[in-house]
Amino acid sequence: MVKICCIGAGYVGGPTMAVIALKCPDIEVVVVDISKPRIEAWNSDTLPIYEPGLDDVVKQCRGKNLFFSTDVEKHVAEADIIFVSVNTPTKTRGLGAGKAADLTYWESAARMIADVSKSDKIVVEKSTVPVKTAEAIEKILTHNSKGINYQILSNPEFLAEGTAIEDLFKPDRVLIGGRETPEGRKAVQALKDVYAHWVPEDRILTTNLWSAELSKLAANAFLAQRISSVNAISALCEATGANVSEVAYAVGKDTRIGPKFLNASVGFGGSCFQKDTGDTRETPAIDVCKGLLGDKAQISIYDPQVTEDQIQRDLAMNKFDWDHPMHLQPTSPTAVKQVSCVWDAYEATKGAHGLCILTEWDEFKTLDYQKIFDNMQKPAFVFDGRNIIDPEKLREIGFIVYSIGKPLDAWLKDMPAVA
Ligand code: NAI
């Protein structure tokens, strides 16, 4: 039986390995992590991350051919294929601080692999890393190899949080890069055989190592460009009276451009670049709240998927520390006193001057906005950073509404009546 070990039981490692275990009953998959609470959660009824369909997949194979463990070294030593899916956050200090990827976690994982391995290994880069990381990892492994052969593959992950299971079941493509040597090709084939259990052959792309590493960064850059472009257009819409939803629809109808990833919003966050689940890393909501706190606002926050502890932590931390897991951080920040967290949107808006919508939860579309208006101070403002409410309906209630990329209140007043 082929044995797979994945280092890092996070948003990528957990769901990806669960799907591999489900689709490959002939493979034993162990996901390991240095975080005891995270592993305990993976072994409990309340998984550490929320993804539609994930519970089902985990329940079907946990204890059969899917295991979660903190015994990192044992399972790495026993594995044939080791995925490394540790976090690669933005550097907070040193050269490239605020820009470059921090590869500390990756490097320590690679050194540990070199220390404990007693048999040949295929080491798979799952984390998003700068191009040529495979070469650096290869050096660490081969210079400490004790005669063991290592093949490094790049197999970047393209899933999006919120649709991880769907993306893993039916990926647009799986990309595998390896060395162009007989051993490299053999390793690529071994990983291809794993994915071939459920991914059609024409969707499994094989390239050289550097093309695979660069493709992931290039894809992220293209996607980020689209969102940035439509956000820039939304500012023009607000200034001119155009409606960004109409503009994006018209532009996206061009088959050369396509309709996806053209929603204007307050911006994108996440450890890669775009997030919409309980993962708050680098969410623009934190920037907005910090700006308001700087202006001495009292903020009452409601999010159906994020705990008070997480919110307080996010607001107390410096930018880019957000993506460094708690158990890897030296100090715990203290709570921000101007912030209260509540468990109900109506409670959050009671007595407020303004309501900011910064996450596109479905329940925000169907709130009783009349009730919210009645309990807010007047004038009552709504700032819809996700374009999920109908500005006209809210204006009828009496709100002053600012929606990203939509004509502003003032515009409407100035507009001549249409016969
Ligand atoms: P995460 O922060 O949720 O999980 C990483 C895990 O690795 C943590 O639980 C941490 O404790 C563990 N870890 C760190 N060093 C370790 C070590 N030496 N030994 C054992 N465990 C260790 O990160 P996430 O979101 O799963 O991302 C992983 C990588 O995948 C990153 O490079 C990210 O950029 C990339 N990626 C993330 C996507 C996402 O949607 N979250 C999508 C595509 C790629």
**Is 274 annotated for ligand binding?**
yes
Dist. CA 264–CA 231, nearest whole Å: 5
How far is the CA of 178 from the CAs of 156, 206, 297, in angstroms? Answer: 12, 8, 53
Residues in the chain: 419
Which residue of the set 6, 24, 237, 272 is catalytic? 272
Using an 8 Å Cβ cutoff, are 268 and 275 in contact?
yes
Contact yes or no for 139/106 (Cβ under 8 A)? no
Q: How does 339-373 read in b/e, with b if 16+ C-beta sit within 10 Å?
A: bbbeeebeebbeebebbbbbbbbeebeeeebeebb
CA angle 256, 257, 263 (to 5 degrees): 165
Atom 3 of ligand 1 has which residue's CA nearest to it? Answer: 10
In Å, how far from its chain's centre is CA 391?
A: 29
* Look-up of token digits 């996901």: 31
What DSSP line would sit under 176-234, residue for residue?
Answer: EEE-SSHHHHHHHHHHHHHHTTTS-GGGEEEEEHHHHHHHHHHHHHHHHHHHHHHHHHH
Q: 281 labelled as ligand-binding?
A: yes
CA 210 from chain centre, in angstroms, equals 23
Q: Which two tokens stand for residue 331?
A: 């100090």
Pocket test for ligand 1, best of 35, 173, 271, 277 (most atoms within 8 A of CB): 271
Q: Collapsing DSSP states into helix, strand and coil, what is residue 345?
A: helix
**Annotated binding residue 369:** no
Which residue ranges form the domains of the chain, and what is each CATH number? 2-218 (3.40.50.720), 240-414 (3.40.50.720)
Distance 145 CA to ligand 1 centre (A): 25
Q: How far apart are CA 344 and CA 300, in angstroms?
A: 10
SS3 assignment for 31-62 = EECCCHHHHHHHCCCCCCCCCCCHHHHHHHHE
pLDDT in tens, the chain (419 residues): 899 999 999 999 999 999 999 999 999 999 999 999 999 999 999 999 999 999 999 999 999 999 999 999 999 999 999 999 999 988 888 888 888 899 999 999 999 999 999 999 999 999 999 999 999 999 999 988 889 999 999 999 999 998 999 999 999 999 999 999 999 999 999 999 999 999 999 999 999 999 999 999 999 999 999 989 999 999 999 889 999 999 999 999 999 999 998 988 777 665 555 433 857 777 888 889 988 988 889 999 999 888 888 888 888 887 666 566 655 554 556 677 889 999 899 999 999 999 999 988 999 999 999 999 999 999 999 999 999 999 999 999 999 999 988 877 654 554 444 43
Strand arrangement, sheet containing 174-178: 66-69, 27-32, 2-7, 81-84, 121-125, 150-154, 174-178, 204-208
Residue bearing the CA closest to ligand 1, atom 41: 11
Instruction: Say if residue 273 carries a ligand binding annotation.
Output: yes
Query: Which atom of ligand 1 is nearest to 11's Cα?
Result: 26
The SS3 of residue 11 is coil
**Inter-residue contact 87 to 10 (CB < 8 Å):** yes
Nearest CA to ligand 1 atom 44: 157
Instruction: Respond yes or no: is residue 272 known to be catalytic.
Output: yes
Ligand 1, atom 32, residue with closest C-alpha: 127
Instruction: Give the gyration radius of the chain's Cα atoms.
Output: 24
The dihedral built from the CA positions of residue 366, 370, 375 and 377, taken in this order, carries a sign that is positive
Question: Ligand 1 centre from 323 Cα, in Å?
Answer: 9
Cα–Cα distance for residue pair 28/333, rounded to 1 Å = 40
Give the largest CA-CA distance in the chain. 84
Q: Residue 89's closest CA among 105, 109, 68, 110? A: 105
Provide φ and ψ at 26, rounded to 5°.
-85, 5
Render 122-167 in DSSP notation, one character per residue: EEEE-S---TTHHHHHHHHHHTT-TT--EEEEE------TTSHHHH
